[in-house]
Amino acid sequence: MNYAVIGTGAIGGFYGVLLQHAGFNVHFLLHNDFEQVKTKGLKVESVDKGDISLSNVNPYSRVQDMPYCDVVIVSLKTYHNELLKDLIPEICKDDTIVILLQNGLGMEAELRELLPKNIIIGGMCFICSNKVGPGHIKHLDYGSVTLGEYAGETQAAGITRNLEKVVAEFKTAGIDAQMSENLMKSRWIKLMWNMPFNGLSVVLRATTDEIMGNPYTRELAESIMREVNTAAAYCGITIEEEVVDTLLDVTSKMVSYNPSMKLDFEKSSPLETQYIYWNPLNSAYSAGYEMTASKTLARELEFLNQ
Amino acid sequence: MNYAVIGTGAIGGFYGVLLQHAGFNVHFLLHNDFEQVKTKGLKVESVDKGDISLSNVNPYSRVQDMPYCDVVIVSLKTYHNELLKDLIPEICKDDTIVILLQNGLGMEAELRELLPKNIIIGGMCFICSNKVGPGHIKHLDYGSVTLGEYAGETQAAGITRNLEKVVAEFKTAGIDAQMSENLMKSRWIKLMWNMPFNGLSVVLRATTDEIMGNPYTRELAESIMREVNTAAAYCGITIEEEVVDTLLDVTSKMVSYNPSMKLDFEKSSPLETQYIYWNPLNSAYSAGYEMTASKTLARELEFLNQ
């Protein structure tokens, strides 16, 4: 299959380079870095895969110049998702698979309006990588991605043939790709981690181990996790209570970690509040549940987001 | 009446100097500033009362050296209130009136255990003043104090003779003193302001006008106010809903203001979280109400309090 990467940054650049390096035909859409990548290519310095320099890549500054692709990987920050209505139709055929490597809730539902019939796959990355220069990505830790096919906000698609096909190609490229038979459950579990730790790391200028190391904020993180769990249940997604303990346990054993929102904040980039906070908050509210602690945090984040 | 001031700082120093300047006999307990005040006296530079320098004051470094007083003004930061069990018995007679010029909830109840029969008066200061050097207080704005007699956590004492006597003497000294017939209601109304604005000003490093100027934090402040209002009702104190709007209106018309907790935070002093947050949170919880937004803020503050 041939691939498009929409948003060639820390995430899309990393996975796209691995795919091309494995022999796949990849087309990269770039904005600021276009000229540099056109002349110098793309480079990944990876903690576990070594240095990969691709001098010969297919860079594009305009989506109109790109070919139709079999798989489109969307790795924009979600605050740019309003661009998708202009980008997606230019590169998607009827049978194009779109993979959203993004954080939060509601991206797939919005894309479904744009593409009523295409296969949509959601992806949750567990990776620590940064763009350190134009076309230059540093991969620091982790790297796995969990993919699941979208079948609506409460339905589980199961393990589909298309999902298996994509995951197989990702694995060929050396990517630690996992399958989820229930994308929305995976999305909500990711939110159980993102909603406490992304927000608190920004508001308190803290790393995950600092948050876990203080009894008050450890309790706060746990109570926000339980709030997200309850919200998911109101929205028709059942997540076992023990997942909270597992996530806390994993987090307390992780190295000192800066969540993506903290990195954005430190770069004075916008924060992904709409998809990580307001979409789940609004979904839960519509279903009859008020996420008071999460909403408090979201409102504080909006103050800092200005 | 003769007065003792326990805690000769921005608050106690200001009101104590005004009382002595008006001719009252005032005894000042000091800690770090004792030697300086002994030789150089006390000085207030006031926005509306001009400069008042008292070269001849009664300073004490040990409460054991102080005389029994008719009125004891306690203006310690509440995180030092555990000292009161040692200080209070040394200067209180059976008919001594103790005035607590402090913020939060639960100070009077604790003092009642120490002094089962004395008159206890609670005071809420609306003042902007700072200690700028040893024995040197700068009064920047406002200056009123509302006093009410304590009659238990839910009872209103009404306007008592002792309250009238103290307020009359304060007024003689040029202090804008008001009477509250219901101390606990006044305390909870003050909390309705303190719980949103003290905490948010610290967590967001913001002034009151910045908090009010952002729609998200303005809504957050309002929702915390309504939470405090509900908590008060659970604790047996009815506060009219319109007080929320009045407080928001007053705050939006105030000049850019740094709440006391923000000033403490900027000085790396401890934060008064126990009395301003945990005591009302715990009282409400015991009465069957969970103050979720306020608790979120309190937990964040404890992280920053370390």
Provide Rg for chain A, Cα atoms: 19
Note whether B137 and B197 are same-domain residues: no
Q: Residue B137 — φ and ψ, nearest 5°?
A: -115, 135
Given a cut of 90, whether residue B257 has pLDDT beyond it is: no
Note whether B12 and B126 are same-domain residues: yes
Contact B296 A299 (CB under 8 A): no
Domain count within chain B? 2
Note whether A126 and A250 are same-domain residues: no
Q: What is the pLDDT of residues B73-106, one digit of tens each?
A: 999 999 999 999 999 999 999 999 999 999 999 9
d(CA B15, CA B113): 26
How sure is the predictor about B186, in pLDDT bands with cuts at 50, 70 and 90?
Answer: very high
Note whether B31 and B134 are same-domain residues: yes
CA distance B271 to chain A (A): 15
CA distance B67 to chain A (A): 43
Mean pLDDT of B50-67: 97
Query: Does ipTM surpass 0.95 in this model?
Result: no
d(CA A180, CA B11): 61
Note whether A87 and A168 are same-domain residues: yes
Note whether A190 and A168 are same-domain residues: no
Q: Which of B134, B153, B181 is the last residue of a domain?
A: B181
For B213, other C-beta atoms within 10 Å of its C-beta total 15
Mean pLDDT of B7-26: 97
Name residue A45's amino acid. E
Concatenated DSSP letters for A36-49? Answer: HHHHH-EEEEETTT
Q: Is A204 part of the contact surface with chain B (CB cutoff 8 Å)?
A: yes
Note whether A98 and A48 are same-domain residues: yes
Note whether B226 and B157 are same-domain residues: no
Q: Which of A297, A303, A209, A206 lies closest to B304 in space, CA to CA?
A: A206
Strand, helix or coil for residue B146: strand
> For residue A289, what pLDDT is reported?
98
> For residue B289, what pLDDT is reported?
98
> For residue A255, what pLDDT is reported?
80
Q: Which of B181, B203, B223 is the last residue of a domain?
A: B181
pTM of the model: 0.95
> For residue B255, what pLDDT is reported?
80
> For residue A190, what pLDDT is reported?
97
For A253, other C-beta atoms within 10 Å of its C-beta total 9
> For residue B298, what pLDDT is reported?
98
> For residue B39, what pLDDT is reported?
96
Contact B302 A214 (CB under 8 A): yes
Given a cut of 90, whether residue A203 has pLDDT beyond it is: yes
Q: Residue B65 — φ and ψ, nearest 5°?
A: -85, -10
Residues 6 or more apart in contact with residue A82 via CB below 8 angstroms: none
> For residue B53, what pLDDT is reported?
98
Nearest residue of A to residue B223 by CA position?
A: A296
Print the domain residue range for B87: 2-181
Note whether B165 and B221 are same-domain residues: no
How sure is the predictor about B44, in pLDDT bands with cuts at 50, 70 and 90?
Answer: very high
Q: What is the pLDDT of residues A83-139, one digit of tens each?
A: 999 999 999 999 999 999 999 999 999 999 999 999 999 999 999 898 999 999 999
CATH of the domain at A274: 1.10.1040.10
Q: Which of B144, B164, B181 is the last residue of a domain?
A: B181
As a whole number of Å, the end-to-end CA separation of chain B is 42
**Which region, left, alpha or beta, applies to residue B148 given φ > 0 means left and ψ of -120 to 50 means alpha?**
beta
> For residue B175, what pLDDT is reported?
98
Given a cut of 90, whether residue A256 has pLDDT beyond it is: no
Q: Point out the residues of B that are catalytic.
A: 190
Please state, rounded to an integer, the average pLDDT across all residues of chain B.
97
Mean pLDDT of B235-251: 96
Note whether B177 and B198 are same-domain residues: no
CA distance A271 to chain B (A): 15
Burial class (CB in 10 A: 0-12, 13-18, 19+), B288: exposed
CATH of the domain at B39: 3.40.50.720
Q: Is B189 part of the contact surface with chain A (CB cutoff 8 Å)?
A: no
Note whether A195 and A240 are same-domain residues: yes
Contact A299 B220 (CB under 8 A): yes
> For residue B106, what pLDDT is reported?
98
> For residue A57, what pLDDT is reported?
97
Note whether A170 and A211 are same-domain residues: no
Chain B residues within an 8 Å CB radius of A304: 204
